[in-house]
Structure 1
């Protein structure tokens, strides 16, 4: 019985780590995209879809009951490119699908899958 409990503890810790990392990465992507949008004359037109998907992914993930929320770090947009944001969005989407597979709570699973959907749309908007 102890081995099974240890396995569940490791699984829960991994799940929480994925969620926390994805939440922070989405907050970072949101801030960077907003910064890019504000620096260009038509920035909100060019970056609007990406910004909306990043925001929706972030909000969807915040609905996960198991998420141990903390205030995401304040990031700046220095040395960040659209390609880096694309790679980050793809990584987030993959991580959230993995988290959904690990989730025991149906509401956690739903939050992860909704956030993964928006993160996938974010990566498409950044192509």
Structure 2
């Protein structure tokens, strides 16, 4: 008895969860960074690189054909800190690499890897 169909379904479910979670996390990071930038007189200078990378990561991941079209969940931004964003970017990067490993579609794999690249750059910009 082969378990290939069940294994493939588990992989697909995990992959979909990773993609949706990463998309929501990137959208959240983008909103928080934009809010931080708007609060400071020179905020767009201080947060510009991070905001750009968050936006690019989000856009890159949106290119994944397997991504569900649902709008990202709206998160509360009042408790966010630069340290929390740094940790979030690292988590997203790792999740996207895992998702790329699970992706069956080459376009999904490419979208995940491009988004992971920008998430890594976002993390560096938040240091």
Distance in 1 of aligned mates of 2:23 and 2:79: 21
Q: Give the corresponding residue for 1:99.
A: 99
TM-score w.r.t. structure 1 length?
A: 0.97
Q: Which residue of 2 aligns with 1:64?
A: 64
Q: Shift of residue 77 of structure 1?
A: 1.8
The alpha carbon displacement at 1:121 in A equals 0.1
* Residue 107 of structure 1: how far off its partner (Å): 0.3
Unpaired runs of 5+ residues, structure 2, are: none
- Given that 1:32 and 1:75 are in contact with CA atoms closer than 8 Å, whether structure 2 keeps it comes out as no
How many equivalent residue pairs? 127
Whole-angstrom CA distance in 2 between matches of 1:33 and 1:108: 26
Q: Distance in 2 between matches of 1:76 and 1:35?
A: 11
Cα deviation 1:61-113 (Å, max 9, x = unaligned): 00000111211122232111100000000000000000000001000000000
Any stretches of 5+ residues in structure 1 without a counterpart? none
Aligned to 2:81: 81
TM-score (norm 2): 0.97
TM-superposed deviation, 1:117: 0.0
| 1:2 CA drift (Å) | 5.4
Alpha-carbon displacement from aligned partner over 1:18-75 (angstroms, at most 9, x marks no partner): 0000000000000000000000000000000000000000000000001112111222
Match of 2:115? Answer: 115
User: Over the residues paired in the alignment, what is the CA RMSD in angstroms?
Assistant: 0.9
